Structure 1
Amino acid sequence: MVTTQTCKNGLRIVSEHIPHFHSIAMGVFVNNGSRDELPEENGITHFIEHMLFKGTESRTAKEIAREFDRIGGDINAYTSKEYTCYYAKVLDHHAEHAVTVLADMFFHSQMDPEEFDKERQVILEEISMTEDMPDDDVHEQLWRVMYPENSIGAPILGTAETLAKFTPEKIRDYMDRHYTPANTVVSVAGNITPALIEKIETLFGLFEKEESPKKYELPNFTSGYSLKNKETEQGHLCLGYPGLSLNDPDIYNITVLNNIIGGSMSSRLFQEIREQRGLAYSIFSYHSAYSDHGTLAIYGGTSDEQMAEMQQVILSLLKELKNGGITEQEVTDSKEQLKGSLMLGLESTSARMSRNGRHELLLGKHQTYEEVLTQIDQVSLEKVVDLLEILIEAPAVSIIRPKEASLV
């Protein structure tokens, strides 16, 4: 059972007690991601994520890593377009110590100028690494095409130009504006004790900062294209279409639709492009849902000589599906696959912690697994076809091809 309590300062603690587990997963979720940044701030949220691991007033970066190694635990973090998460997983009897270290990182990061400059270089290398992997870079280019005038289309890592302007003072100012109690959720799952919850409330329930209301501008989807030529063996293609938000009542309908298109090994794209035609090793689709919108994307990687054929097959398959090609059996199979994935996720404290934290942060509510299964069962062929008709129109296109190649 998932329970939520709100501290006096507005911070929320969401917990799921699983007594038969011997581990505890914990995460500090901040409702702040790259889409909260101004153009000149692009990448600052991700920079903060890195700096919180670089030492506090009482622990060096090496000591933070060593403390988790000593207790056989894991600690990490990630930045998304809408939120940031700092998380750890440890044996239950080490949980209070682990959350103490997380709180120390969260509240007492030193922002040492020397470490600051080192980490700037580390992130520049991370950006270069992404650019060196065209199967990752093509997705970044797609977001720029889909949302050229909105911060959600900007890269999470930022750019060399924006990173060069960050200072410890700018970081602290940004954190003061965005790392606030009402913007923060602490999620724990596993063999939780009352003492652990009290510890979390003591560590996180007292800090006070003035709240800054969120002012998201609804992204307007753009059907454009991008071509990038670089030294690469394969060509890489992404097609993007509008999707649905997390709160949309059709969210499970589009999840089923995605499974049918390219979200599984039995999907139309995988079977036709890889199994039947041998055009690609990697071919798939995915749906990304956010608080106010979503995106349905398709990716394929193939030789430059086969790029045009692969793109044409993808578009033909989508047209076939729109013309009544989806079957009742495909919908039924996709629903069962979705339910299986959900239930298998229950076996991981990390998955439960993450799910609960995101739902509290972005939705402010929690559904029981039975309620979710009921909603999945209500998905119908008619609803899936209706969504297909609405969403699959002119796509945004991103292509990375070997140098000297031209646009498909």
Structure 2
Amino acid sequence: MTYQFSETTLSNGMRIAAEHSSEAATAAIGFFVKTGARDETSALMGVSHFLEHMIFKGTEKLSAEEVDLAFDSIGAEHNAFTSSEMTAFWGAGLPEVLPNIHDTLSDILRPSLRQKDFDDEKKVILEEIAMYDDQPFWVLYENAMEQYYNTSSLGHRVLGTPKTIVDMKRDELAKYFFERYSADNTVVVLSGNIDFENMVGAIEANCGAWETTGALRKYDEVVRFPGTYTKKIEDLHQHYLMMMMPSASFQNPKRHAVAALASIFGGGEGSRLHWALVDAGLAEVASASADSSDGFGEQMVWAVCAPDDAEQVSTVIKEEMKKLVQSLTKEDLSKVIAKASTGVAVASERPAGRMQRLGSMLTTSGTYISLEDELQTIEKLTLKDLQEVAEEFPWEPIFEASASQS
């Protein structure tokens, strides 16, 4: 199936981009706003995620119940997510209902932000935070990130903290919304069987009056704080550990090589860590990843094991790090290329997947790379590429964190 890329920008700065094919059986649309936990002040930590909740609470035209019905009545999928990097709202369905999906999304993205809804959702979010606080690894991860990045917003919690949510005022949330959810800070992406020109006209009719605020992301120097951190948790029967070190940003053309090396090291079954720790019975979980974000990246290793095995697990991880580059083989390379290519292709097989890939890409870097070009980059990786990124972004932890029973 052949996809064509088209894009335009409205006079208010809203960017519209699409990968479209008349052969696709479905269509998808997403509104990606370049604002997330990293764009918040410490006092308003969690406001982006709070707004994700508020978007679905209704508008001047629609109540919360009518918003749900607007999607359900036409058989459309819809969802939203908030991360450190962005907030996104999307829907997908048959091609003939895409205009309806767009009408609903563009309407709810200008929400009423009523005080009662704000008060109600505050309780829901506090319950959500409490739910995650019951997950030991999540507790360790959030606390470790705060220690690792210290006062930087890169260590902000997406959900916020109980204190920031309790203290947050409706007017503070509204001010953040009007500053950040502007036309020039939003990318509208489409994929599948669509009429691009008609959809541009519809988007301009619905969103052409959206404000332009000149919202910009602050790119402060990424400062990491090497060291160790230990979190004590009551009634914890296992030992959790994580290690962190710098990696390639999303904008770095070497990020695919970095990700490939991370996959060989700790990307599930067949990885170095799986054989050395999980298959050997030393750890229940042992994984590694390379996460590329806007302007920076991190490599992480995490493991779960019995408390008595914690020291040995940490030692084995570091031994495997030292052996990684010298032990690379052509078989490793062919396997990881096949795995990465399959992952990218499968994720983009449906228009909804292509839409999310396109939205995340344009929101993070602003630059379009076709699926075919990305696959070609992956398939051209060599052992030398992996060896070079191992020198530039070595698997040598600068920060180690653990959680154990108090």
1:353 matched to 2:362? The reply is no
SS for the counterpart of 1:236 is strand
- Structure 2: how far apart are the matches of 1:67 and 1:76? 13
TM value normalised by structure 2? 0.94
Is contact 1:235–1:307 with CA below 8 Å preserved after alignment? yes
SS for the counterpart of 1:325 is coil
Structure 2 equivalent of residue 242 of structure 1:
246
1:27 matched to 2:30? The reply is yes
1:196 matched to 2:237? The reply is no
In the TM superposition, 1:102-117 aligns within 5 A as 102-107=105-110, 109-117=111-119
Is contact 1:264–1:284 with CA below 8 Å preserved after alignment? yes
SS for the counterpart of 1:199 is helix
1:121 to 115, 120, 123: 123
1:165 matched to 2:170? The reply is no
Structure 1 equivalent of residue 179 of structure 2:
177
1:94 to 97, 115, 130: 97
Deviates most, 95-104 or 368-377 = 368-377
- Structure 2: how far apart are the matches of 1:317 and 1:393? 11
In the TM superposition, 1:128-147 aligns within 5 A as 128-147=130-149
- Structure 1: how far apart are the matches of 2:201 and 2:241? 50
Is contact 2:243–2:398 with CA below 8 Å preserved after alignment? yes
* Paired amino acid for 2:245: Y
Structure 1 equivalent of residue 269 of structure 2:
265
Unaligned runs of 5+ residues in structure 1 are: 404-408
- Structure 2: how far apart are the matches of 1:142 and 1:161? 18
Deviates most, 282-291 or 3-12 = 282-291
TM value normalised by structure 1? 0.94
Is contact 1:36–1:216 with CA below 8 Å preserved after alignment? no
> Shift in Å at residue 174 of structure 1?
0.9
SS for the counterpart of 1:164 is helix
* Paired amino acid for 2:42: P
Structure 2 equivalent of residue 218 of structure 1:
221
- Structure 1: how far apart are the matches of 2:202 and 2:333? 46
2:396 to 390, 393, 396: 393
- Structure 2: how far apart are the matches of 1:272 and 1:186? 45
Q: CA deviation digits over 1:201-239, x for unaligned, max 9?
A: 211233123213332212212222221121223221111
2:76 to 73, 78, 82: 73
SS for the counterpart of 2:224 is coil
Structure 2 equivalent of residue 59 of structure 1:
62
- Structure 2: how far apart are the matches of 1:262 and 1:269? 5
- Structure 1: how far apart are the matches of 2:229 and 2:56? 36
> Shift in Å at residue 385 of structure 1?
2.0
Deviates most, 63-72 or 246-255 = 63-72
Deviates most, 370-379 or 220-229 = 370-379
* Paired amino acid for 1:251: R
**CA 1:169/1:67 → structure 2, altered by over 3 Å: closer, same or farther?**
same
1:9 to 7, 12, 24: 12
> Shift in Å at residue 13 of structure 1?
0.8
Size of the aligned set, in residue pairs, is: 400
Is contact 2:185–2:215 with CA below 8 Å preserved after alignment? no
Is contact 2:184–2:213 with CA below 8 Å preserved after alignment? no
> Shift in Å at residue 318 of structure 1?
0.6
Unaligned runs of 5+ residues in structure 2 are: none
> Shift in Å at residue 105 of structure 1?
0.7
RMSD, aligned α-carbons: 1.6
Q: Percent identity?
A: 28
> Shift in Å at residue 39 of structure 1?
1.3
- Structure 2: how far apart are the matches of 1:394 and 1:97? 50
- Structure 2: how far apart are the matches of 1:93 and 1:203? 18
Q: CA deviation digits over 1:179-218, x for unaligned, max 9?
A: 1211100111111124333212211233123213332212
- Structure 2: how far apart are the matches of 1:321 and 1:145? 28
SS for the counterpart of 2:324 is helix
Is contact 1:246–1:289 with CA below 8 Å preserved after alignment? yes
SS for the counterpart of 2:318 is helix
